[in-house]
Structure 1
Amino acid sequence: MKKSDFYFDLPERLIAQHPLEQRDASRLLVLDRADGSVSHRHFRDLLEYVQPGDCMVFNNSRVIPARLMGHAVGKTTPIEVLLLTDKGNGLWECLTRPGRKTREGVELVFGDGILTATVESVQPDGNRLICFHYDGIFLEILDKLGTMPLPPYIKEKLDDPERYQTVYSKMPGSAAAPTAGLHFTPELLNSLQEKGIRLAFVTLHVGLGTFRPVKEDEITDHVMHSEYYIMDEQTAEQINNTQENGGKIWAVGTTACRTLETIADESGKVQPQSGWTDIFIYPGYRFKVVDHLVTNFHLPESTLMMLISAFATREMIMEAYREAIEEEYRFFSFGDSMMIF
């Protein structure tokens, strides 16, 4: 399949620049895979579709203030560093700008020297491996020096950084939010539990690999970056018990979906584990565990468009997106939601 098979023209006015005041007031486009029909609801109406005994799986990763501004030792030119992946022992894979100022061996300074770093190497894809030096706790230093790494298509300032976190975020480590979960409120989560729905949590620390533009014309030539995931024993038991009792598995977001499909065996069973996934899901993929998917609206020609096209069909997805644009849904991170049923 070609990258261009997943292109659509989106008016810029439909790119949401800020979150709605009430998280679950966003619109919900419901796509029924049985016949391709589309209905237009609000996110809180999700309660009508999830049935007692079902299990909803959420990604509880928390976005860190991953954007740092510093400069090279002895220089004044600002250098932006975006933390992508924690490699351990202070070593991070990062994006830097301008890249020409961050060659191997360059020493960096942030926040009057309370954080310093060394560029260890330049990766083939242009990312940098940077080793940070500091006293104390790294995440506490990031809280002082870093800022929230909002996507480049969001031009307006975010007054409350918590609006780029899910209400159930717990495990720090993501460079971008698992945005499908931004629509949930504590009240909606409580209502789901009261209805008899199991709530389960995995962790996938979202890097930018999931969102990296597909440059190759043939989508099978695209290489995904790896992201770290965790599934604990309680979540594995909830998922397996749900399946054994005839319940359905709902993935809240493409990150939860990718994590589940990475872990599941051919029969759809999962077990506690952690590791790195570079799974790339596109049409032709056979889903092993996910029955229903809640997701936001994605960028044209992105790997996420390819994933949801695998979950339904490309034709269903492109028609649903055409209707969403016609109905002036809000798109991307702070936009409206979609349920593929």
Structure 2
Amino acid sequence: MNRRHPALLVSALVGALALSACGGEDPLEGDEEQTGGGGGDAALVIGSANFPENVLLAEIYAAALGDAGVEVTTNLNIGNREAYMLGLEDGSIDLIPEYTGNLTLYLNESAEATESEAVYAELQESLPEDLTVLEMAEAEDKDSVVVTQETAEEFGLTSIADLAPHAPNMVLGGPAEWRDRFTGVPGLKEVYGLEFSSFKPLDAGSTLTVQALLNGQIDAGNIFSTDPAIAENDFVVLEDPEALFAAQNVVPLISTDKVTPEVEEALNAVSAALTTENLTEMMVQVQETDPADVAREFVDGL
């Protein structure tokens, strides 16, 4: 299967500028917090994307590094990958939780691997010299196409491929970047032949997609596989037999010059302890508890 998709190096700048224009704020000026010291120029800056799980993972990294004596600050809710990669490039952030499959595709438009170890190896080959990934976690959070139980039963849906004859009469919902990313509308069309009647942009990892499914604004939606809303609402995650969504193991992406033995040991310990099961459990907790508190409890148990 050809997994090629449009190069994103130019669109990264466009995406970041668009985010800046929305609300008039710099996309790299997220929620800043200081951990493990007095801050300052020497502090390692941990960023996060703008969805709850990534914020939680950033808080876990911050707590673990702080316990290891590393001075850190956080810059949370920066935006999507196109925005925060600019922060890694210009040095305004040093570390961010990432996902192996989508990061590999961002860096290498010809990426073909789909299984965890192969994706991780391809990612390492695709990284520029100034960026490094440390050990990946068993924990995985993949994009998924989800429908309600009623929709699945009405149309006999068990896999994404089953949507083909029905998609022209359906609305697909997902994060705005899904309109152009290969692991979104273009890939669903190329790999599965799906042509939806329309695409409704919604915030990644938010409750908007859940509500849109429940109230019938969309017929199928992109929800991350660890989202507790799937079980809570008895949604059906459609199988992906053509592996459009490659393995998405959680992995720390860090500026190479910020890797020290202390940093590496602390982050590798986090990766060794993170599983899909405990990450999903923590995502239930963050619905009612501050992510920093959930992160603190997890790190205390390492």
TM-score, length of structure 2 as denominator length: 0.29
The answer to which structure has the higher helix fraction is 2
The structure with more radius of gyration: 1
TM-score, length of structure 1 as denominator length: 0.27
